[in-house]
Structure 1
Amino acid sequence: MLKAEDAFPLPEPLSARHKDSFAYTTMKDRQPVILTKVIDYLFRERKEIAEVYGDDVLEDLKAINELLAQLRYELMTDKPLSPLNESELPDVHDWNHSLEEARFDCAAKHEDCSWFTAPWLLVECYLYRRIKDAFLKGSGTGKLKHFDFFADQKKSSLLDSLSSVRILGNFLLDKLSHLQPGNPDASKTLFFHMVELSLWGNKCDLCISGGNPNAHTSDPLADLDVFRQNILSDHLDDIWSFVKSSMSLGPAEICFIADNAGFELFSDLALADFCVSIGFASKVVFHVKSFPWFVSDTVESDVEFLLKVLEEEGLCSLALRWKSYFETERWSIESDHFWTLSEPFPNMKKIRPLLYERLSRFRLLVVKGDLNYRKLLSDLNWEHHTSFELALRQFHPCALVTLRTMKSDMVAGLRPSVGKNAHTIDPNWMITGKYGLVQFSGRKDTESKCSV
């Protein structure tokens, strides 16, 4: 885990070996439930799936569920992690390298490299990669290799959030029609609101709810005043200063590392539209996952479904507006297998140098959500008051913003008293999604070393 450029001892990675940790609870309780729901869904919906793909996939579904049941057994009995041995995806070498490193680290502690001894980030990501592996191996017909087994849950979450979507969509259209070109200061307050809306959209996470419904049903605009006091690290002024100064240089490309589909994706697109409309961004790239991941993470088909729903549910003008952005390539969707590895972002430059180079061409990177935050800060047990810059461990392809509601017990960049005060109010403050972070780093790749 320690990189040559780290000039200080690193904290330990979060791990389920500690029975009083959120990682332990997640791997013991929540992830087996999610896996069981996938198995139950495939069995319950087998006839409907066969109607779409053909009766011959019934044998595929049986084989896939047998593999998933075996995976659940391995997880619940804390078996050693096995290497991947299929080669259809380009990530197998990287995954097996990560597993080998983890085995080496566990061996140094005289432990097997298992679900409850290896780093939490590794085993949690490995679970979803193994689910994908079951579909690749179990689909003898090949028809279900790329089946999105979380699609129905994501679609239901969006449809259950329609009242909030309409409120935010109509608000956005109204505000865009009254923008004052050439007067960025007039957009400052509205920019803050759009960033906050994107932040709180991250509360809609089907993984943290164990796959149970978790839609946005309240008025997102009314929520802002209520939730603002729950932003524990607020760099909005720094972000606006960067945006305003950047606008004097002319429009540029920005990038969103997307998290959840549904209402959060909608709020991200709304923020992206605002950035385009005020002249900050000429192009926006959305990086999404290449296969189903952590229940509600965005894949490309989720974007297509969102636009379809907007067109059918009273926001046709917004749907057409956003479709035109994609058609004219002002907006685009990209993916990379790095996002479905377990590797922390600071390792990107070594593992996926072309992706790091691609990100370095953006003026701003918007990193969404809890898992991306964990990867951004290497999922280490940082002291809460550790500076955000230090915890980034030299990951500076370009200026970056992270918008995250807290759903795991890892954070950096807080003032010394903030965590203590939040714990007094709610001992579970780090894992409920009630509290949020808006953090910013304006640095771009540097060879200088961190020091403490």
Structure 2
Amino acid sequence: MATVTPNNPPFSAYRGADKGSFAWDSTVRRWPIILDNAIADLEKEVQQTTDDKARQEGKTILDAIADLKNEIAADRPLRLINDKEDDTDDWNRHLASYFAGATWFGGTWLFNECYMYRRLHENFSNSTCWKQYDPFNVQKLATFKGSHGSVFDLAHKMPTLIQPMTVEQLEIVYDELIQVCLWGNATDLSLLTNMTEEDIKRLQAIEKDKLAEQKKRILVDDIEKLWEKIKSLQGSRVDFILDNSGFEVYVDLILADWLLQSGKASKVVLNCKAIPWFVSDVMPKDVPILFDCCLDRTFFPDHENRSEDDFIALETMVKRWKSYVDDGKLIVREHKFWCSGLPYWYLKSEAPELFNDLRQSDLVIFKGDLNFRKLLFDCDWPVTTPFKTAIGKEMGTEFTNIVSLRTNKADTIAGLPEGLKEELEKTVTPLEWRCSGKYAVVEYNGCP
């Protein structure tokens, strides 16, 4: 058997060179759209600035992003990163060791997609005036505004969710919150080109009948197994490896709030991306921005139709979240490894201090599609491969506390029951159940 490397996974890697595949569609269609949107937002900022140096640097960055688009379309070789960030040497070591001579279509889809965002960041990093600029911030805020209905609904529910409860009542609340946390991942800006507005609203819905209907689309359902673990927690540490900002991190915070209020956790750690990443991923700065948005009574588009009770419910909850941050119960942090191009099979070797720190956590919740892809090396596993096997020996044996909450937005999958794939494909296409975001998995590798 060939040696496993980032460019040679345990099974066939997904690559943009596979014409007609989802990886190919991403490379030829989705990535240019993402870069075009970043260009459009930056152009507006450049036009509005009165600083001559900022305007000139902004124009240079706009030209560089256009060049990046052309470079991808021409399938040119991946070059080294050219800036002075903390992760530059790591990226260039990986490029030289594993992807020497690889092109935009020839390298693995996982590495190349991460590399695209890192190359985009390089342009801002090398500037003076735009170092802290997030080219996706406008899109993040606009999408969160569109989630206003569910935002206020959940804020009203929160006092009921955190009152003293029996174990049976806690389980009922847990089951609902886990599903809301799962389907909140629908608002993924890097993949919204595949979903309609109605799809997103349906997946964000929190009514019990809709959740019951959506539960039928959870293809691997370890929700009850995970409850046995959470039920046993008391004053524990829980980590979230976050995915999207906006509505998704809002519901992550609601789950974190419930864990703290119920006494299941005494500390919750939110692990964020260090740079703008996959359009909507959470950076540390996005958490206080979300707090400020929720406390701004004019932020949401329907604010004039909202009652005083609506605002009080939301403000009470968010002020409690801010107090958690102040008291050290809610920790928001970043690490450069989350923005590498490598699968999480390399977490221990590339970031041993992070690996050992996460092992101290009683439960590590990986959110979203990209985290799932990275956990599973983003390759074409036989679909019935156990989750514990697919996440690799070190993650599978040294951790017994990993759960992935993921709506399916890419081909990568493992852990399916025997025969489920064949049964699904009697009525839906592989693209539908693997990549549309309308199906999901909750996969847990541990024991209670």
Report the TM-score when normalising by structure 2: 0.90
1:420 equivalent in structure 2? 422
Q: Give distance in 2, aligned partners of 1:80 and 1:167.
A: 49
SS in 2 for 1:56: helix
2:301 equivalent in structure 1? none
1:236 equivalent in structure 2? 223
Q: Is the 8 A contact 1:163 1:217 kept in 2?
A: no
1:328 equivalent in structure 2? 327
Amino acid at match of 2:380: N
2:305 equivalent in structure 1? none
Displacement, 1:367?
0.1
- Are 1:251 and 2:251 an aligned pair? no
Q: Is the 8 A contact 1:31 1:210 kept in 2?
A: no
For residue 291 of structure 1, the aligned residue among 239, 263, 275 is 275
Q: Give distance in 1, aligned partners of 2:347 and 2:237.
A: 20
Displacement, 1:213?
8.9
Deviations 1:408-443 (CA, angstroms, capped at 9, x unpaired) = 011000012222222332212211000011110117
Deviations 1:373-421 (CA, angstroms, capped at 9, x unpaired) = 0001111110111111110112144501100000001100001222222
- Are 1:148 and 2:134 an aligned pair? yes
2:373 equivalent in structure 1? 374
SS in 2 for 1:296: coil
Q: Is the 8 A contact 1:362 1:398 kept in 2?
A: no
Q: Is the 8 A contact 2:229 2:447 kept in 1?
A: no
- Are 1:275 and 2:277 an aligned pair? no
Amino acid at match of 1:92: T
For residue 89 of structure 2, the aligned residue among 93, 100, 118 is 93
Q: Give distance in 2, aligned partners of 1:102 and 1:36.
A: 29
Q: Is the 8 A contact 1:359 1:398 kept in 2?
A: no
Q: Give distance in 2, aligned partners of 1:261 and 1:337.
A: 18
Displacement, 1:2?
4.2
Cα 1:353/1:443, change in 2 over 3 Å: farther
Q: Is the 8 A contact 2:14 2:379 kept in 1?
A: yes
SS in 2 for 1:300: coil
- Are 1:347 and 2:346 an aligned pair? yes
Displacement, 1:70?
1.2
For residue 128 of structure 1, the aligned residue among 117, 121, 124 is 117
Q: Give distance in 2, aligned partners of 1:408 and 1:184.
A: 36
Unmatched tracts of structure 2, length 5 or more:
298-310
1:307-326 aligned at under 5 Å gives the runs: 307-313=291-297, 314=311, 315-326=314-325
Q: Give distance in 1, aligned partners of 2:403 and 2:274.
A: 23
1:436 equivalent in structure 2? 440
Cα 1:302/1:176, change in 2 over 3 Å: same
SS in 2 for 1:16: coil
For residue 106 of structure 2, the aligned residue among 117, 141, 144 is 117
Displacement, 1:260?
0.4
Q: Is the 8 A contact 2:242 2:367 kept in 1?
A: yes
1:263 equivalent in structure 2? 247
Amino acid at match of 1:367: F
Q: Is the 8 A contact 1:401 1:441 kept in 2?
A: yes
SS in 2 for 1:416: coil
Displacement, 1:3?
5.3
Amino acid at match of 1:26: S
CA RMSD of aligned residues (A): 2.0
Q: Give distance in 1, aligned partners of 2:348 and 2:37.
A: 36
Q: Give distance in 2, aligned partners of 1:284 and 1:86.
A: 33
Displacement, 1:210?
4.4
Tell me which moved more, 395-404 or 142-151.
395-404
Deviations 1:327-364 (CA, angstroms, capped at 9, x unpaired) = 10100101100010011111010011011011111000
Q: Percent identity at matched positions? A: 31
Q: Is the 8 A contact 2:243 2:282 kept in 1?
A: yes
Displacement, 1:206?
0.4
1:147-186 aligned at under 5 Å gives the runs: 147-177=133-163, 179-180=164-165, 183-186=166-169
2:41 equivalent in structure 1? 41
Q: Give distance in 2, aligned partners of 1:339 and 1:172.
A: 31
SS in 2 for 1:424: coil
Cα 1:189/1:340, change in 2 over 3 Å: same
Q: Give distance in 2, aligned partners of 1:20 and 1:86.
A: 34
2:170 equivalent in structure 1? 187
Q: Give distance in 2, aligned partners of 1:78 and 1:120.
A: 13
1:449 equivalent in structure 2? none
Q: Give distance in 2, aligned partners of 1:291 and 1:410.
A: 25
1:448 equivalent in structure 2? none
Q: Give distance in 2, aligned partners of 1:280 and 1:253.
A: 9
- Are 1:14 and 2:6 an aligned pair? no
Cα 1:24/1:211, change in 2 over 3 Å: closer
Tell me which moved more, 61-70 or 311-320.
311-320
Amino acid at match of 1:94: D
Q: Give distance in 2, aligned partners of 1:290 and 1:170.
A: 32
SS in 1 for 2:190: coil
SS in 2 for 1:425: coil
Displacement, 1:186?
2.6
2:62 equivalent in structure 1? 65
Q: Give distance in 2, aligned partners of 1:350 and 1:155.
A: 36
Q: Give distance in 1, aligned partners of 2:11 and 2:194.
A: 31
Q: Is the 8 A contact 1:257 1:365 kept in 2?
A: yes
1:25 equivalent in structure 2? 25
Displacement, 1:208?
0.5
Displacement, 1:33?
1.4
Displacement, 1:212?
9.3
2:308 equivalent in structure 1? none
Displacement, 1:170?
1.1
Q: Give distance in 1, aligned partners of 2:268 and 2:193.
A: 32
Amino acid at match of 1:442: G
Q: Is the 8 A contact 1:361 1:398 kept in 2?
A: no
